[in-house]
Amino acid sequence: MTPFTMPSLGADMDAGTLVEWTRRPGDPVRRGDVVAVVETQKGAIEIEVFHDGTLGRTLVAPGEKVPVGTVLAEILGPGEPMPAEASQSPAPAAAAEPGHAPEPPPAEAPPATRVEPAAAPPAPAAPTPAPSAAGRVVATPAARRRAGEAGIDLAAVPPGPGGVIGLAEVEAVAGRPPSAPAGGETPREARRGGPDLSGMRKAIAAALARSHREIPPYWGSRTIDVTDLYAWLERRNAERPVAERILFAAPLIRAVARALKESPGLNGHLAEDGFRPAEAVHLGIGTALRGGGLVAPALHDADRLDVAGVMAALSDLVPRARAGRLRSSEMTDATATLSSLGEDTSDSLMPLIYPPQVAIVGCGGPVRRPWVVDGEIVVRRVMTVTVGGDHRVSDGRLADRFLARLETVIKEPDAP
Amino acid sequence: MTDEELMRIVQETLVSVAPDLEGETFDPDATFRDQFEIDSMDYLNFIVGLSKRTGLEIPESAYPDLQTPAEVVRWLRGHRAEA
């Protein structure tokens, strides 16, 4: 029997609320299967199991908030008998006394689960926020998010046409200096799934304050000519139907991942016991959410996919990040992060590393600039790439090598 | 098909790729990016959805002319007439 515990889905997460079980006791499960959904500050995250087996007893009921490390359920190994009471799930005792302390893993448990058992005894489960009672305001989802992010009480926002509060109405209030200190609770989005943006701001603040406090960073940057890559992209897209078109981000992600693969000091995690370089490149994709907020889910094996494969993975990942439906592995597996601003944005950025990662790559907007090619000044499309590294693991020299390698591989979008 | 119907298609398609915009008021003359923070991924999905919904092939070279809801309606009206 292997305990299935509340995972830590970020440097700052100490507890999560179980939203639902997606499998029932007795169901066979395989490594990577989603068995539960947990509400966190970064949205509802689908939690995967790390072992093949059978879902045994579930010990935490939907609606319970429990500390990281709490045993949520048991995963039975092949041939292990189902406990007798498993058919009635959750056990009444478990519901009455939520938050079971993590048990020491059995001897046969695989090493290195990625959760840290909670040190303190778990607190009683906090009640889940109840949906607002009657008289609730009518507001669009985007307006709710923006209001949450800005700490605006929707009840104080004058509705727009049809009595509905939209983004414009919230922005009108957000733009005004507050007439009184923001009193009361920030409205919490009751709708399942959407990221809680005020909570998300706290999560971003916690992670990046830690980054700023603990990581001695260095940055190196290089401006790279991407004219030929744009031409390649336009040619490729012109001959394909709309559903097969790819974005500039796809060859960029692939090139960054390939260059990272050859820069082990930039790809991995810094743990208590030192730096663990990663074999694979799971590239965190910095994704902005409408109304504010940021999440950087992992695009798995980005160095091994071809451009079409990266595009397919990206098309799957980004909408789920926006909708707040990421998987636990996507929240924890990133070995480095890419922050790409896109066209018509800043020329460059100096990104902060997201711990426990040790590097982040920031791409400014690709712009047309006068550029010297073969001794002549010509108009080229260029992009400034900045890599931030952790001095506890590597030095600026590695950034130079990475950027030189990136400049080469970004010109080879079709390379195997 | 009237311009109102085309505008409804534009709105429904955009909401289908960005569900959190459900219920938002559309300014026909503001760019998708300015009014809804639509990025390149949302935009591509919007074009894919529009192409499916209307049966029209929308070339990448047309993107610069398809930045506001009103521009999209105009483009669809013109190209439906051709088709």
The pLDDT of residue A200: 80
Closest by CA to A286, choosing from A246, A317, A313, A260, is: A317
Determine the average pLDDT of the residues in A205-224: 93
Mean pLDDT in chain A?
81
If one compares A359 and A205, the residue with the highest pLDDT of the two is: A359
Whether A247 sits inside 8 A of B41 (CB atoms) is: yes
The pLDDT of residue A405: 97
Amino acid present at A174: A
Best of B41, B44, B56 to mutate (most A CBs within 10 Å, chain A): B41
pLDDT classification of A293: cutoffs 50, 70, 90: confident
- Predicted confidence (pLDDT) per residue in A97-150, tens digit: 444 444 444 444 344 433 333 344 444 444 444 343 344 567 666 666 667 667
- Predicted confidence (pLDDT) per residue in A324-377, tens digit: 889 999 999 999 999 998 877 899 999 999 999 999 999 999 999 999 999 999
Determine the average pLDDT of the residues in A62-82: 88
**A245 touches B: beta carbon within 8 Å:** yes
- A–B interface: beta-carbon pairs under 8 A: 74
Which member of A160, A247, A291 has the closest CB to residue B25?
Answer: A160
- Predicted confidence (pLDDT) per residue in A180-192, tens digit: 334 333 333 333 3
- Predicted confidence (pLDDT) per residue in B29-55, tens digit: 999 988 888 888 889 999 999 999 999
Whether B60 sits inside 8 A of A234 (CB atoms) is: yes
Partners of B44 on chain A (C-beta within 8 Å) are 242, 245, 247
Determine the average pLDDT of the residues in A380-388: 97
Non-local CB neighbours of B60 within 8 Å, separated by 6+ positions: A234, A237, A238, A245
Which member of B37, B52, B58 has the closest CB to residue A290?
Answer: B37
Which member of A241, A318, A343 has the closest CB to residue B57?
Answer: A241
The pLDDT of residue A234: 93
How distant is the alpha carbon of residue A277 from its chain centre?
Answer: 20
Whether A342 sits inside 8 A of B24 (CB atoms) is: no
